[in-house]
Amino acid sequence: MYFLNSKGERITKEEFVDARIFSEGLAAVATKWADGPMGSQDTKYGYIDATGAFIIPQEFQISGNNLAGNFHSGRAIVSKTELDVMGNYHTSHGIIDDKGNWVLKPTYNHIAAYCDGLARAFSDNGTVYLDMKGNEAVKTNSPWGNSFSEGLAAVMAR
């Protein structure tokens, strides 16, 4: 895979095995698939700018499709997958800023993209909403909730 501009001109010299869409000037890319016991789940992604230069090194895992790994409000959701001694995979999600610094190390079972300044996260204790610093701004005991939109979020009653 490589990137081209709207004129059909190739803008990246390097080819990637996976590439996400550009968001806020950065795109998550991987130059090779991982070949360890976890296979592609252990693939490391970095972030390039529109010239193809790596701005954030390939140090992060991304699990999920769609907007996973894309930047929203200067934050991207990344993951860490580990293989336990029984051969089971455990994935946790965290948040990085647009410099590749951890805002929140992988802690939650799932984190959705920021909407209305809050990111929905699932933990074993229920749905929480994280602020831009990774703090739990809104806590619920609900097993599931939507992301905030227009200041409101629907959550499942227990």
Q: What is the pLDDT of residue 38?
A: 59
Q: What is the pLDDT of residue 106?
A: 94
Distance between CA 136 and CA 59 in Å, rounded? 25
The model's pLDDT over 15-36, given as tens digits with 9 standing for 90+, comes to 999 999 999 999 999 999 887 6
Q: Is there a contact between 29 and 46 (Cβ–Cβ < 8 Å)? A: yes
Q: What is the pLDDT of residue 37?
A: 58
The model's pLDDT over 35-62, given as tens digits with 9 standing for 90+, comes to 765 566 678 999 999 999 999 999 999 8
The model's pLDDT over 60-72, given as tens digits with 9 standing for 90+, comes to 998 766 556 899 9
Distance between CA 79 and CA 77 in Å, rounded? 7
Q: Which residues contact 110 (CB under 8 A, 6 or more apart)?
A: 93, 121, 122
The model's pLDDT over 66-115, given as tens digits with 9 standing for 90+, comes to 556 899 999 999 998 888 888 888 889 999 999 999 999 999 999 998 99
Max distance between CA atoms of the chain, in angstroms, equals 53
**Alpha-carbon separation of residue 101 from 41, 55, 119 (angstroms):** 21, 12, 17
Q: What is the pLDDT of residue 42?
A: 76
The model's pLDDT over 125-152, given as tens digits with 9 standing for 90+, comes to 899 999 999 999 999 999 999 999 999 9
What DSSP designation does 22 have? P
Token pair, residue 53, equals 């230069």
In which band, very low, low, confident or very high, does the pLDDT at 123 lie, cut at 50, 70 and 90?
confident
